[in-house]
Amino acid sequence: MRYVVIVAFVLILASLASALVFMMKDRGKSDRTVMALALRVGLSLTLFVCILLAYRLGWIQPTGVR
């Protein structure tokens, strides 16, 4: 599960970076920035749901604040 979360975070950051590049390059003339940000939101929601599901199935356990 740890590797899935790490890969998801990398994909989310890559989508955010591509949105920045598209925003600077296109100057608002295309919708690539919006699509990249929508992909980031979708990936974030998917990661959140997967973490909740993994907790419910007992694959991950809370460790508390240390």
Of 62, 64, 63, 60, nearest in space to 1 by CA: 60
In the chain, where are the structural domains located? 2-57
Cα–Cα distance measured from residue 35 to residue 18, given in angstroms and rounded to the nearest whole number: 10
Mean pLDDT computed over 30-48: 92
What torsion do the CA atoms of 41, 62, 65, 44 make, to the nearest 10 degrees? Answer: 0
pLDDT digits (tens, 9 = 90+) for 5-19: 899 999 999 999 999
Specify the pTM. Answer: 0.80
Give the span between the Cα atoms of 51 and 4, in whole angstroms: 10
Instruction: Determine the pLDDT at residue 2.
Output: 83
